[in-house]
Each structure stands twice: as structure tokens, then as C-alpha cells.
Chain A
Amino acid sequence: MAMRLGLADMLSAGTRGVSRYTGTLLAVFVVQSLVAAACMFAVAMVLAQAFAHLPLFDDAVDGDLVALIWCVRYAQPSFVAIGGILLGALLLWQLASWFIVGGLYGVFAQRPEGRAETARCFGASGAATYLAYVKLALCSLPGYIVVLFALGTGASLVGTRIWHALTMWQLIGPLLLAMLPGLLLLHVLWTISDYARVELTLRHDSHDPGVVVTYLRSAAYVIRRPVTLVHGGLGWLGLLAVTAFYAYLAQGHPMYGTEGAITLFVARQGVSLLRMAIRVGVLGGQVELGRSRPLPPRRVEAKVDVKA
């Protein structure tokens, strides 16, 4: 019987994975940075169209609150357009992430050697599971609707209390308490999706498991093994900690001028890379645990049909 993996094993597997496939991590990060950069240039063009001739916007960017209010009121359509660009970038990344996550799971599962083999494995795995991941996302939708309902109900319960909050605790306490059920449910759903993806990747060639069955089996697995939730939760906490730490350090350092802008860019990219390493490390840990799961039922007939 296989040894039962614990949290420490998952964390060390994640760390090993990140250090072994640093190149893959960097490649994914470059892709993400390119999407972010494209987003930046699109936003810059929209802003320049509205404000290139108006020094008031320079003041706004340099922290003049009143100038910022004037600029936002003056160019509302531009800011709506920026919202659209942001949404588009997120949607694009969501679509890309199904391929990227499939690729990363494939690399961690097959442990290829060498740059070329790793790249081949990444691409093949990402492509092989892409459609299954899309189906999985559709399969998860009802759960997310329940999450939205839980979050909305929680917010409406504490709305008046928050409106009348006088201290940070009176604001954050009820809000956290009210959102907690929704957030916990969201975490559970995300974890289920993650382990379903691991299963779809690991067993794609050998068992070709069905998406719905895999989702349901993963739900049962996650509920039986709380370590999955703790491990994923630690990942989110790490992400939050890095972001909060950066916000704390950046506070009060507006970084004016070209030198400031470059410093800011480097710092932000560093923070993003660190967060991505955490996310990728979590994926590595999940693959390690996913290997130890009982095998899914074979869909032999499906394989036969395809060959025929």
C-alpha cells in the first residue's frame, strides 16, 4: 500500500518542482508579463488620447486627489474603456490558464528532463487536456452560482452594520464573518477543480476519465482529505502575504520620474514572480498528492471507439 502523503510532503514537492522547472516557471511568467504589458500599452494609449495635452493629469498621477477626481469626471468613457481592457485581459488569461495549468500539471506528472523535452511535455499536456478543462469549468459553474449567492446574502446581512462602522474591527469583522461561508465554499470549489484537473492530466492517457465523474470523485476526495484544503489555503495565504507586504513597503513611496517608474516596474514584476512561484508550487504539491489517489475507472469503450 502507498504511503499516505502529508502537508510537508506536498510543500516539499512543490518547492522541488519550482526549483527543478524554474525555466518553465519563467516562461509562463514571461507570457503573463506580455499579456500585462499589452494591457499596459492599451491603457496608456487610451489615457494619452484623453490626457497627453493636459498637465492636470500629471498632477493626478502624482497624487493630487482633486485633480484625479476632475480627470475621472472629465474622461469617464476612457475609464470605462480601461475597465473593458482590464476585463479582456483577465478573460484572455483565464482562457490561456487552462492550457498553462494543463502544461504545468503535465510537466510535474511526467518529470521530463532537458529544456526541449520539458517544452514538448508542457505543450502536449496543455493541448491534450484543454477541452477537458473547459468542460470542467462549465461543470463548476453551478457551484460558483451558489458562492455568489452566499457572498451576496452575507453582504446584505451586514450591510447596515458596515455602513455604521466606526472602527476597522467593526468594518472588517462583520464583513469577514459574513463573507466567510462564501469564501470557504469558493476555496473548496477551487480545490475540487484543481484535483479534478490533476486527475484529468495524470490519467488522461491511461484511463481517459470522464469530466463529470472526475469532478464528483475529486469532490469526494477533497472532502475526505482536508489536507488538500489546508495546502491550497496556505498557497492563498502566501499570495496574500506577499501582496500585503509589498503594499506595506510601497506605501508612502510614490516613486516619481523615470528612475522611480523603472524601480516600480522591477519591484512589481518581482512581486508577481514570487506570487507565481507560490501558485506553481501549489500545483506541484497537488500533483504529488494526486499520484497517490486511487485510480479512476477505465473508459475502455471510449478508447476502442476512437481507434475504430
Chain B
Amino acid sequence: VVVVAALAACNRDRGAPGVKTIKPDSFLTLRGSGPKSQRIANYKIDARLDAVKHAITATETLTWTNTGTTAVDSLPFHLYLNAFKNDQSLFMKSSKGVVRGAHASDTAWGYIQVESVQVGGVELASKFHYTPPPTAKDDQTVAELPLPQPVLPNGVVEVNFKFTAQLPEVFARTGYKGDFHMVGQWFPKIGVRQNDQWECHWFHVNTEFFADFGTYDVSLTVPTTYRVAATGVLVTANEAAGNTRTLTYRAEDVHDFAWMADPYMNVLTGKAKVEAPPGGSDDTVEVRVYYRAEQKEFAQRHLDAGIGAIERFSADYVPYPWPIMSIIDPPMDAVDGAGGMEYPTLVTTAGDTVFARPGVRFPEYVTIHEVGHNWFQGMLASNEAEEAWLDEGVNDWADSHVMAELYGATGSAIDWMGWQAEAMALRRAFADDPSALPSPIATAAYAFVDNRNYALSSYDTTLRALSTLEQTVGSLKFAAAMKAYTKAWAFRHPTGRDLFATLGKELGQDLTWFFGPVFHEVGGLDVQIRTASCRPYHPPRGIFDDGSGGHKTKSEVESPETGSFKCDVVLQNTGTFHVPVDLELRFADGSVQTRTWDDKGGESWKAFELDSASRLTEVWLDPKNKLALDSPVLHHQRLEGDGAASLRAAAWVSSAAQTLMQLVGP
């Protein structure tokens, strides 16, 4: 009773929130001139937040252009919020109600109710129908709108919606928790037409999003006590009836619009310096971190990481094109559901914990990863349902470089009390062996055997694969090729094939030997030292023909040991991936020899014979740690065992044992 009372007394009373002073942003919606994309799907939305019911009532006008070669007689729409309408949606069935440790509420469901849909003034609500997948008949995350008249190639159609979006208790990126509202995937959103086929997949736990670029003009009416962060630039802020105000945002060349509303958020602002656009002089991006007071210590870390990320990604790939970036640090009771998600010009971060001491850079990593998504998916808008690895894994690879650039190569992820760990190495150490995964990297997100395989393949294995390739072809060349890829495909919809083609072209190599097995086949890399031995060398002994029909015997006396050594090392690769392997051989006299096994498939083992003046002491396969796809544990071996480190570790264990003994006895 005492404990419960004491804990209850510790709860902070925030008091009533005050009216916020809001001023429109002073910058243009794009850095440099636009448009940067085709702007196929353009939205105008007027929305009002009911902060008590956690619901949004809105009208939406979509203007869509048919850029295909055939006429279109119906339009598919995503209604993502219906994933949270009941436990029979594809999302709930595939997630079993749990995403990243957050559990879906059994009582606070979320949904989107389309009350009206009109084309050319004709009401079509009765014809607007759900198209569920065969495995989830109650799924309502995709609906089809038959059109009264087909949209011809290059034709434009305007669709008007009235809808209500009821937010769930925060789960899987969207929803409310107390006064905090994270509003994502909240409006009817048209699918993408590619090669005259629609891409509009049902919302599945593994699938994120895919949409066309366009402009968004969104008016949000919220209580005056609420602070709002949203995609794009705040154009106007006008007081409205009933202690509300209407905030109008405009975003250009983006493919989504998300926003956050919360009465207790504070704002921390900084500026990132990036390359000015051609013909322009605006070389700054305003970075804002939205945080609750108790998370102030972490806000500065997120701000610094956000600024660093924008500057590094801009330098390494293409300059950030928008003038603003908002980083939301969700309240601690909402972070499992809302943290770690990316939208154009707005991301949510995570990682705030007492264990993330300065130098333990998990908060920074999350921010850098989510900001990085503004390149890999925000600008290079790949299809996350079909090729999740193309943004998640590629972004992870880029993040590890940005982390190293910002915090140093050896301790980029952890540099705390003498402990150091580099981001990529840490990810690799915790990841599963790729050969243990039944679905290869290039599997559609919804087709993975399970969420774990999806996550490991799309993030870690892709990161490790790209790193292995990078180390194989050379870091500088690979970085230049990746930059070329981003320049070529920014504001378009690249596919994995496009990435492979661009890299092959830029690197001047046929890389099918790598991409095929690594991305499309089940398996892994398993290079090992099979045997390593060394023996004193002597000239041949035994009975030999003397060339005249007789024999000559060479004994130990005639062929004494020379003092040099003959050594054999056999490497094997029992995995399905093959890459060139470096070998370093160390000898007792301190000399070192290197060899390379140029394995690009076709061989499963390789033997090396060496002559040496000294005995072989260590064999080090992949000494520069290039083979990120493989486990390094057995790559470095001594021929003679040495128990010094074991004894040292055992001494520590026994000291701990003695401490525990003194707890149970004298």
C-alpha cells in the first residue's frame, strides 16, 4: 500500500495547457524551383480534430492524372485506418495485434468511414466498395471506386470525399495516447498506376506504403491549446470558432501527409546547412524537435542527430529539397506505437531511455534512420509492399555511414565508459545468419514467412549484403555509384532492378554473380578455414629412379630438414553466396603473407600451399572484415591454443562468484 501510494504521488500533474502562439513559416515550400516530380496525385484536405473523441472529420479533393497508356475506369484507394477496425483485418491477422512490442487496444479501435464520394458532382458512395484479399474477407483497407466515365491517358479526374477518421489508441505508427495525437495514413489515398497496372496492396503488418508524388494543401482545425507539426510548410494560421484555429500546410513533391497534435509539446529548433539549389541561395533547412518537457535531455540529441543527418545525406546523395524537417519525440507512453516512423519532412523518433547515456547513440540512430528515409523512400519512392529492402536496408546501409561520419568510425553506435561499437558491426553481431532465413531478401513484404524474416532480410541482411559488396568493389567507388543511383531516381519509383542496373553501370562490372544469389535466393555465406597445418621442410626422401634404370635412396641424412616450413591451408565455402576472400597468414618470425581466393561461384573449397622460413602461427580469413554477410568468429584462428584470455575472463567470473558467496555465507 505504501509503495503504491508513493508511486502514485510521483505522477506528474501537467496542469491545463496554455494557448499556443503560432506563426506561419516564412520560407517557401521547396528549396529551389519545382516541380521536382510528375505530381500525379494532388490532394486538398480540410480536417477538424475532435481532441476528445480522437476523431477527424474532413473533406478531401483528389486530383489525379492518368500517366499511363490505357484508359482507367475505376480507381483503387487505400483506407489504411480500417486495419485497426477489428481483429479480422489483414493487418491484425498478420500482426496478431502486436507490432514492435506495442499491443493493439481491444477497446479503442480505429477506422475510416467514407460518408460521401463524388466525381463530377455525382454521388458514388453506394458504388464505392471494399475489395478484401482472399485471406481476410473482413479487410477494408482497400476500396474501389468505379468511375462514371473512364479517365483517358493524360486525362485528369477530380474525386471529392467526405470522411471521418477515428484514431485507434496509438498502435502501428498512428493513433492517440492521452492528449497526444499522431495522425498518419488517415485519409483516402489513391494507389499507384505503374505499367498500366494498379499497385494498391492491402495493409499488412510487413507492408508500409507506396504512393505517387504530388502536392498537398491541408487545413487542420485544432484547439488553440494544441501544438501541431505536419508535413510541409505552415502557410497560414487563422483563429476559428470555439477556441480553435485553422492551420494550413502546403507540401510539394511529397507522397504522403502526416501530422501530430499535442497540447504539451515543446519545440527545439536548429538549422542544417546544405548545398543551395541551382540558381538559389537558400542553403539552410530548419529542423524542429517536438518533445515533452521530461524528454528535454533527449531533444537536443535528436536535434543534433537530425541536423547531422540532413547535412550528411545531402552531401552523400542529393540535397534535401524541402526547407523544413520536423522530428517528433513521442511521449514515453506512446513511443512503442508511434515512435520510429518516417513521412516526408516529418518523422517520429524513439530511443529515449535512461540506458541511452550520452555516447550510447540509440536515440541518435533512430533519428538518423528516420530522417534518412526522406531520401530512401521520401525521394526515391520505391514500393515498400513489394520491395521493403530497397528503402529499409539501403537506408540502414547509408545510416551506418552517416553514423560513422558524424561520430567516428570505431564508436559510432556506442562510445561509453571505454566500450565502443560501430553501428554496422553491432547490427551484424545481433543479426541472424542469413542462411537460417527461409525467405530471401527480394521477397514481397507481405510474402515473407513471418515478421522476423521480413525484418531481418529487409533491414539487417540487406545492410550486410550491401556492405559486403561495397568492401568487395571498394568503398569510394561504391559510394559514388550509390550517389549516382539517388541522383538518377530521385522523385521517381525505382525498383531493385533499377538499383542493380545503376550500380552495375556505375561500377563498370557485371554484378549478377552477387545480386542473383544474395538477393533472390535462400542461403548464406559460410566461408571457413577448413584446415591449417605446417611441417618442417626437407628435400625429397625415399627411393627414386636415377634415370639409368637403377634406384637412388635419399635418407634423412642426405635430405635433412632445411629449417624452413611447408604449410597447407584449406578454405571452404559451404554457403550459397560466393564472394572473393582475402587470406592473411602470420608466421612465428612476425612475417605476414596474403592470398586471395577469387570465389565468384563454382568452387566450394580452395587449398593454398606455402613455403615459409618460419612456422605458421595464425590464419586470418577476411582480415579487413569485408564479409559482412558472414560470421567472423571462426575467421581468425591460431594454430596453437592460448588460454590466457580464458583465464582472465575466468578470474573475473570467479571474483563475481566470490562476491555472491559472501552474500549466502560469510
Contacts and interface: CB of A to CB of B under 8 A. Distances in A.
Given A52-B642, A166-B294, A252-B417, A47 B649 contact: yes
B634 interface: yes
B631 interface: yes
B654 A275 contact: no
A45 B645 CA distance: 11
A26 interface: no
B574 interface: no
A227 interface: no
Given A161-B7, A265-B651, A90 B662 contact: no
Interface in A229-276: 239, 243, 251-252, 254, 261, 264-265, 268, 272, 275-276
A234 to B, nearest CB: 16
A189 interface: no
A28 B665 CA distance: 11
A110 interface: no
Given A52-B641, A55-B618, A264-B651, A177 B6 contact: yes
Given A39-B653, A43-B654, A65-B421, A239 B429 contact: no
Given A66-B421, A89-B657, A104 B647 contact: no
Given A54-B634, A166-B332, A252 B658 contact: no
Q: Interface residues of A toward B: which range?
A: 35 or more
Interface residues of B, number: 60
Nearest to A90: B660
A158 B658 contact: no
Of A42, A45, A55, A96, the most chain B CB neighbours within 10 A belong to A55
Contacts of B430: 69
Interface string B650-666: 11011111111110111
Interface string A20-46: 000000001000110111011111110
Nearest to B636: A55
Of B297, B657, B664, the most chain A CB neighbours within 10 A belong to B657
A61 B649 contact: yes
B267 to A, nearest CB: 19
A175 B294 CA distance: 19
Contact of A279 (B634, B643, B666): B666
Of B10, B417, B634, B650, the most chain A CB neighbours within 10 A belong to B650
A56 interface: yes
B624 interface: no
B662 A56 contact: no
Interface string B590-605: 0000000000000000
A191 to B, nearest CB: 15
Contacts of B658: 32-33, 36, 268, 272
Of B332, B631, B654, the most chain A CB neighbours within 10 A belong to B654
Nearest to B296: A166
A132 interface: no
A170 B354 CA distance: 8
B646 interface: yes
A171 B637 contact: no
A283 B295 CA distance: 48
Of A28, A89, A104, the most chain B CB neighbours within 10 A belong to A89
A72 B633 CA distance: 10
Contact of A180 (B3, B4, B414): B3
Contact of A280 (B352, B634, B661, B666): B666
B211 to A, nearest CB: 34
B3 A239 contact: no
A213 interface: no
Interface in B589-634: 618, 631-634
Nearest to B419: A65
B661 to A, nearest CB: 4
A7 interface: no
A247 B646 CA distance: 22
A158 B7 contact: yes
A221 interface: no
A264 B650 CA distance: 12
A90 B3 contact: no
A166 B295 contact: yes
Contacts of A143: none
Contact of A166 (B2, B4, B297, B418): B297
B653 A40 contact: yes
A222 B391 CA distance: 66
B657 A86 contact: yes
B61 to A, nearest CB: 41
A97 B665 contact: yes
B419 A36 contact: no
A104 B666 CA distance: 10
B666 A36 contact: no
A166 B4 CA distance: 20
Contacts of A178: 3, 7
B526 interface: no
Interface in A68-101: 69-71, 73-74, 82, 86, 89-90, 93-94, 96-97, 100-101
Contacts of A168: 354
Given A48-B643, A166-B298, A96 B3 contact: no
Nearest to B656: A86
Nearest to B294: A166
Contacts of A57: 645-646, 649
Contacts of A60: 645
Interface string B128-139: 000000000000
A66 to B, nearest CB: 5
A57 B643 CA distance: 10
Contact of B655 (A47, A52, A180, A268): A268
29 contacts: A32-B661, A32-B666, A33-B658, A44-B650, A51-B645, A51-B646, A52-B642, A55-B638, A56-B632, A58-B642, A61-B648, A70-B631, A71-B633, A73-B429, A82-B653, A86-B660, A89-B661, A90-B657, A101-B666, A158-B7, A164-B335, A167-B297, A170-B354, A174-B10, A177-B3, A181-B2, A239-B662, A252-B417, A283-B666
Given A93-B665, A252-B417, 8 more contacts: A58-B645, A65-B420, A66-B426, A71-B633, A101-B665, A166-B298, A181-B3, A265-B651
Interface of B: 2-4, 6-7, 10, 294-295, 297-298, 332-333, 335, 352-354, 414, 417-422, 425-426, 429-430, 618, 631-634, 636-639, 641-651, 653-662, 664-666
- Sorted nearest first, the 3 A-B pairs with minimum C-beta distance are A97-B665, A52-B641, A40-B654
